[in-house]
Amino acid sequence: MAKITYDGIEIEVPDGTTIMNAARQLGGKLAPPAMCYYTPLKGSGGKCRACLVRVAAGSAKDPRPMPKLVASCITPVQDGMVVENTTSQQVLDVRKGIVEMLLINHPLDCPVCDQAGECDLQNFAFEHGISTTRYEEERRTFDKVDIGPLIQLHMTRCILCYRCVYTADQLTDGRVHGVLGRGDASEIGTYIENVIDNDFSGNVIDVCPVGALTDKTFRFKQRVWLTKPVDAHRDCTHEKCGGRVTLWYKGNDVLRVTARKDENGEVKEWICNECRFDKKETSDWVIDGPAHIDRSSVVSANHYELPVLNQQVIADMPESTMRELAQNPPLKLGGLNG
Amino acid sequence: MGRKLLTEHINVEGIDTFDVYRKHGGYRSVEKAIKTMTPDEVVEEVKKSGLRGRGGAGFPTGMKWSFLAKPEGVPRYLVCNADESEPGTFKDRQLMTKLPHLLIEGMITSSYALGARTSYIYIRGELLYVLRILEKAVAEAYAAGFLGKNILGSGYDLDLHIHPGAGAYICGEETALLESLEGKRGNPRNKPPFPAVSGLYARPTVVNNVESIAAVPVIVNEGGNEYAKIGIGKSTGTKLISACGHVKNPGIYEIEMGVPVEEFIYSDEYCGGIWKGRELKAVVAGGSSVPILPKDLILKTAAGEPRLMTYESLSDGGFVTGTMLGSGGFIAMDETTCIVKNTWNFSRFYHHESCGQCSPCREGTGWLEKVLHRLEHGHGQMHDIDLIVNVAKQIEGNTICPLGEAAAWPVTAAVRHFRDEFEWHVTHPHEATRPGAVYHGGLVLA
């Protein structure tokens, strides 16, 4: 076991746990944001740099601070480690920079994007970004590529988190899509033009943090926050599919079917394409009850909350943050120190 | 006249053949190491020599070797990084073209020291003709019994493979190199784990630069202490410097560490001064990624001491008034050089070469290039100058691999030392875009 201090809160976790997962045990809202890391996908993480944190003390044995900010999703804890997330101004500044970098080539077409309302990038930008842009150049755009009858690839919105690549690698045999090109010309694509066609291909829609991969059977049907999520299950005959899903209702119609997600917005169980695309009648399913959506706050509460700031341990908070806090008091850290 | 340890015989006719190389004392270090020394003794000599990695970072090679994990029954690898692609650096190419057997001798001795039974040379894809030279030399070494099974009857086996890259600068980063060598897309890995624990095929691996490995035979032959006598302080031995740009005699020079920069530029033994009788304006001392320095600061440190060609002296003053020795790609620029254009050019390179894996580098390098393009072409505004510095700072230190820093440093340094020139591009867009126009305290036409 290793005891670490995270934003002034002490927590004990098993050796080998990453900083991110230790923080998530304290509650999803306290954890650093993650745009590429996805627990069920082996090897994911480290790419988006949204979860950078400052390690003020490496371990009890070697209490020197780490020279650079580290990606919390891939850095394992050490006994005696002291981690600063929202208590470090440097971390908050860098995070602002990461939002800016992710947005400069993002089309910001949220009003017509199906992901809006449950978009990781939207949440991340709202919580950590600034409301203006310094980017005057032309944005990068891509032509839409047809990758089959069920999934729409809209590369212009992609933030290259690689999640869909890992998903295809780890869930299915013979991945046909991957990252082509390099630098800001990298794109997700099939080489040479190919169709993503297998029983589990639909899961790439669920893991996509933005609206780059969307469900063609749901596109433009409804804003997600106007639909009602309901948990349901059925006896799926596919050996790898448990048939436990979330149905998204509008009135009496099932508009779409997705996998169930946990409080960190990660898929609990992968589902097959038959469940996702073909079973859109209530009679196909046994209803378990309303689904609780934690992270995507537009869907869950119709309003946003500021991220939790642990004010007690911030020595000299910048003036702008103080002003912001006075207007919007932060959440209390129930049970831990509040 | 400094001592030449690596390039003493570089101009001997036929030195790229096994027989001639052997006649000039080649492969002595292999015999000495395998017959009279234990692997640990070889590592110890390299440690004593104080040799520092010649690829750019300057990390002590002996220490790197001693970090190599050695679990029982698990193969370990030595990989030579010959993916030399930093703009301004071309020392390894020359060394491999002229003295292929020196690298192979170094590989054998080093592999023996590390206990590697299979070693690789990962060579830049553009250097296919060098690959052929190396392959011929490897075949000769196999035929002479210096590679293959039971080398010199010692029972030690070693196979050496040469593998070309496919034209990506990023594959010079050690973990991207390993990915590429494994046949994957050349994306740098997240660290830890470091290659010394889990490198090529997830086995313990050491990755060394060509010049570092080529120095090992000398160290084994003469002894680490002898080698350490050359140079100053922690910068020991000799270093290959590839001088280019506006000097009279561009080329590769093997210098003893500690030669004053002024002597290196102006002495006839080395660069022979600036061409066409012009003035020196600025120097990029260690390949395009290190901070650029104006004439005054490259010749003398901020404290007024003469600057020397050593790791310590060049980085004296940190990045405020110093730079780095880096890989030894010495680019001199005369007064007709436009620093804005040059910075844009460097930026364009890093934009093109970013692998696109992590967001600050992928998006930031492109942003930098676009704003610098605007500034150079007379469409910039005053706040763009602070913008590029800020964007560079957002990249620096926040990326997976050092390419982020490599892209950021030239920009921040150029603005730090040549801000007036950037401002002049904003205030005088028409003059700045005239062909051959350069700022030198005002408009000068080259």
pLDDT tens track for B168-189 = 999 999 999 999 999 999 999 9
* Position B382 pLDDT exceeds 90: yes
Residue A59 lies in a domain: yes
Using the 8-state DSSP alphabet, how is residue B182 labeled? T
A38-55 pLDDT, tens digit per residue, is 999 999 999 999 999 999
Percent share of chain A, pLDDT over 90: 70
Give the helix/strand (H/E) hosting B28. Answer: helix B28-36
Are A40 and A188 in the same domain?
A: no
Pick the CATH number of B241-334 from 3.10.20.600, 3.40.50.720, 3.90.1150.10, 1.20.910.10: 3.10.20.600
Distance between B118 CA and the closest CA of chain A, angstroms: 27
**Residues in Cβ contact with B334 at an 8 Å cutoff, skipping those fewer than 6 apart:** B245, B246, B274, B275, B276, B278, B279, B280, B281
The answer to whether B216 touches B106, Cβ cutoff 8 Å, is: yes
Average pLDDT over residues A283-294: 88
Are A157 and A285 in the same domain?
A: yes
Residue A303 lies in a domain: no
Residue A299 lies in a domain: no
Closest partner CB to B400 (pick from A46, A100, A186): A46
pLDDT category, A335, cuts 50, 70, 90?
A: very low
A256-284 pLDDT, tens digit per residue, is 999 999 888 899 999 999 999 999 999 99
The pLDDT assigned to A193 comes to: 81
Are A278 and A209 in the same domain?
A: yes
Q: Are strands B238-245 and B251-256 parallel, antiparallel or unpaired?
A: antiparallel
pLDDT category, A325, cuts 50, 70, 90?
A: low
B348-372 pLDDT, tens digit per residue, is 999 999 999 999 999 999 999 999 9
Percent share of chain B, pLDDT over 70: 99
Which chain B residues are within 8 Å of A69, Cβ to Cβ?
Answer: 397-398
CB contact under 8 A, B356 and A135: no
Are A49 and A116 in the same domain?
A: no
CA distance B362 to A15: 33
Residue A337 lies in a domain: no
B298-338 pLDDT, tens digit per residue, is 999 999 999 999 999 999 999 999 999 999 999 999 999 99
* Position B9 pLDDT exceeds 60: yes
Average pLDDT over residues B256-279: 96
The pLDDT assigned to B300 comes to: 95
**A206-220, B120-134, B426-440: which range is least confident on average?**
B426-440
Amino acid at A106: H
Give the range of the structural domain holding residue A280, as residue numbers without chain letter: 110-290
Are A121 and A47 in the same domain?
A: no
CA distance B300 to B306: 4
Test the B interface: residue of A70, A136, A142 with most B CBs within 10 Å: A136
Percent share of chain A, pLDDT over 70: 88
Average pLDDT over residues B4-23: 95
CB contact under 8 A, B366 and A183: yes
User: Helix-strand-coil percent breakdown of chain A, rounded to 5?
Assistant: 25, 20, 55
Distance between B395 CA and the closest CA of chain A, angstroms: 9
CA distance A97 to A129: 8
The pLDDT assigned to A338 comes to: 36
The pLDDT assigned to A312 comes to: 52
* Position B139 pLDDT exceeds 50: yes
Test the A interface: residue of B353, B358, B359, B391 with most A CBs within 10 Å: B359
The class (CATH top level) of B339-445 is: mainly alpha
Average pLDDT over residues A58-66: 94
* Position A337 pLDDT exceeds 70: no
Distance between A47 CA and the closest CA of chain B, angstroms: 4
Task: Please name the fold of domain B18-229.
Answer: Rossmann fold (3.40.50)
Residue A300 lies in a domain: no
Residue A335 lies in a domain: no
CB contact under 8 A, B365 and A182: no
Among all residues of chain B, which has the CA nearest to that of A163? B357
**Owner of token pair 């992901």:** A115
* Position B213 pLDDT exceeds 90: yes
Closest partner CB to A101 (pick from B168, B364, B370): B364
Amino acid at B70: K
Are A124 and A249 in the same domain?
A: yes
Are A141 and A249 in the same domain?
A: yes
Closest partner CB to B363 (pick from A94, A181, A184): A184
* Position A315 pLDDT exceeds 70: no
* Position A305 pLDDT exceeds 50: no
pLDDT category, A336, cuts 50, 70, 90?
A: very low
* Position A221 pLDDT exceeds 70: yes
The pLDDT assigned to A299 comes to: 64
Distance between B356 CA and the closest CA of chain A, angstroms: 4
B389-434 pLDDT, tens digit per residue, is 999 999 999 999 999 999 999 999 999 999 999 999 999 999 898 8
The CATH number that applies at residue A32 is: 3.10.20.740
Are A34 and A116 in the same domain?
A: no
The pLDDT assigned to B344 comes to: 97
- Closest-CA residue to B62 (of B71, B70, B54, B53): B53
The answer to whether B330 touches B60, Cβ cutoff 8 Å, is: no
Average pLDDT over residues B362-385: 96
Q: How many domains does chain A have?
A: 2
The pLDDT assigned to A225 comes to: 85
Domain residue ranges of chain B, discontinuous segments joined by +: 18-229, 241-334, 339-445
Closest partner CB to A104 (pick from B355, B363, B398): B363
Q: Would an 8 Å CB–CB cutoff place A179 in contact with chain B?
A: yes
**Owner of token pair 């093109």:** B352
Residue A232 lies in a domain: yes
A145-185 pLDDT, tens digit per residue, is 889 899 999 999 999 999 999 999 999 888 999 999 999 99
Closest partner CB to B190 (pick from A74, A98, A186): A74
Average pLDDT over residues B3-21: 95
Are A36 and A182 in the same domain?
A: no
CB contact under 8 A, B190 and A46: yes
The pLDDT assigned to A29 comes to: 76
**How far is CA B431 from each of CA B334, B414, B440, rounded to the nearest angstrom?**
20, 20, 13
CA distance A312 to A254: 47
* Position A302 pLDDT exceeds 80: no
* Position A311 pLDDT exceeds 60: no
CA distance B192 to B190: 6
Q: Would an 8 Å CB–CB cutoff place B408 in contact with chain A?
A: no
- Closest-CA residue to A206 (of A193, A224, A190, A183): A224
Are A312 and A284 in the same domain?
A: no
Are A70 and A180 in the same domain?
A: no
* Position A244 pLDDT exceeds 50: yes
Buried b (16+ CB within 10 A) or exposed e, A227-259: bebbbbebebeeeebbbbbbbbbeeeebbbbbb
Are A188 and A84 in the same domain?
A: no
Q: ipTM of this model?
A: 0.90
A82-105 pLDDT, tens digit per residue, is 999 999 999 999 999 999 999 999
pLDDT category, A303, cuts 50, 70, 90?
A: very low
- Name the burial class of residue A303, with classes exposed (0-12), middle (13-18) and buried (19+) by CB atoms within 10 angstroms of its CB: exposed
pLDDT category, A127, cuts 50, 70, 90?
A: confident
Residue A301 lies in a domain: no
